[in-house]
Structure 1
């Protein structure tokens, strides 16, 4: 599990991106890059990292489900993901 500070930092960035999205878009369309420079760095969507919703793990992220591969496999084995069955042949 990721440290709670890292997860908190990520959620803070997500909130800032959502708050400043319209303002960033307007500044980009106007071509005012000096004003864009004065915004917080964390307001940029490029600084976001996909993380597992349950553990905060940054690697092995499965975007369709929002969790990492380890949690995905565990949930699939317990039947917690609807419509998903273990392959066998």
Structure 2
């Protein structure tokens, strides 16, 4: 499990990106780079690093499911992810 402070930072960054999304889009279309540079750094979506929704793990993140590879495997074995089952041949 990730540190709670890292998970809270990730949540705060996501909220900041959502808050300034429309303003950023308008400034980019207008070409106003000076006003764009005065926005908070965390308003840029590039700065947000994907984390597992349940554990907060930053590496091994599966975009389609929003969780880490380790948690994905555990949930798949338990049958809690629809359409996923262990293959054997």
Normalised to the residue count of structure 1, the TM-score between the two structures is 0.97
Unaligned 5+ segments in structure 1 are none
The count of corresponding residues between Structure 1 and Structure 2 is 89
Unaligned 5+ segments in structure 2 are none
2:30 maps to 1:22? no
Partner of residue 7, structure 1? 7
The ranges of structure 1 where at least 4 consecutive aligned residues each deviate by more than 4 angstroms after the TM superposition are: none
Partner of residue 32, structure 1? 32
RMSD across aligned positions (CA)? 0.6
